[in-house]
Copies of this chain bind each other. A is one copy, B any other.
Amino acid sequence: MQPTELPKELAARRIDRPVPLREHVYQAMQELIISRRLAPGQHLVESELAQMLGVSRQPVREALQWLNNEGWVDLRPGYGAFVHQPTPDEADQLLAVRSLLESESARLAATQADEEGIARLRDLNKQGFEALAADDVDTAVALNAAVHRCVTELSGNKVLLDFATQVDRRVRWYYTPIARQRGKQSWQEHAKLIDAIENRDAEAAARIMQEHTERTRKSYLEQRDADGEQEQQLIELPTRRRRRSSPAKG
């Protein structure tokens, strides 16, 4: 089988290796999944992935475990890994949980944040406006994520941060397309949020964050109804025979 373009890159990385191979595998596969080049529901055969990425099955297995934790793939013991099927329902549920976690974060941040943290927030938001003005959408999206993350960090609750990070990662799978479309308003809402935090007004901060995230959720729903999924070029993992799916139940 001729490897896709990835193995050379991996082979290169392999030379300076303080970072475990599984990390690279993890990242490569995450990219493939996010970009939908591996189709939802697709069976991921360890040996094929290993060959494709130029490593053995071991690091692939470990990477698959991580991907499983983070909701990118589903593991069925004895039957291997399958790319997770994102459903509209799940997206909505994720966004709901995100809203919950982040509004609580904002509430806590209003009482916990220090001056330096608030300054950091302001700076990020300023950069966001600038990216917006420069039409630099990628940067704006990244900065948006950074603002939200920063608020959660300022909550001072590490557990909350952990969970919010998890949700955020998964949400972005669905959400990136919309994130690219919400413009100035979003950053104005951030500004208000930061004001509330600075004024130590916990309730206001929580409310603003909730409205802010709920608006995102609504955008998602609208967009979803508006346009269908666009097709993507899938990686055809070459096998002669392939298991159809999970075992017949019962």
Residues of A within 8 A of B (CB): 18-20, 23, 58, 61-62, 65-66, 69, 77-78, 90, 93-94, 96-97, 100-101, 104, 157-160, 163, 166-167
CB-contact partner of A97 in B93, B96, B157, under 8 A: B157
How many chain copies does the complex carry? 2
A-B contact pairs, 28 of them (CB 8 A): A18-B78, A19-B77, A20-B77, A20-B78, A58-B58, A61-B62, A62-B62, A62-B65, A65-B65, A69-B69, A90-B158, A90-B159, A93-B157, A93-B158, A93-B159, A93-B160, A96-B157, A96-B159, A96-B160, A97-B157, A97-B159, A97-B160, A97-B163, A100-B100, A100-B104, A159-B167, A163-B163, A163-B166
A88, chain B: closest CB distance, angstroms: 13
Q: Kindly list chain B residues whose C-beta atoms are within 8 Å of the C-beta of A93.
A: 157-160
* A91 smallest CB distance to B (angstroms): 10
Report chain B residues within 8 Å CB of A100: 100-101, 104
Complexed CA–CA distance, A23 and B58 (Å): 18
A203 to chain B, nearest CB (A): 15
> Which residue on chain B has the smallest CB distance to residue A101?
B100
Q: Which residues of B contact A18 (CB under 8 A)?
A: 78
Which B residues are in CB contact (< 8 Å) with A104? 100
Q: Establish whether residues A159 and B94, one from each chain, have CB atoms under 8 Å apart when the complex forms.
A: yes
Q: How far is the CA of A172 from the CA of B159 in the complex (A)?
A: 15
Give Cα A66 to B163, complex, Å. Answer: 16
A66 contacts which chain B residues (CB < 8 A)?
65
How many angstroms from the CA of A179 to the CA of B19 in the assembled complex? 43
Beta-carbon nearest neighbor of A61 in chain B: B62
Report the nearest B residue to A103, measured CB to CB. B100
Q: Which residues of B contact A101 (CB under 8 A)?
A: 100
A63: min CB distance to chain B, Å? 10
In the complex formed, the residue of B with least CB distance to A159 is B93
Q: Which residue of B lies closest to A108 (CB)?
A: B96
Complex: how many Å from CA A163 to CA B62? 22
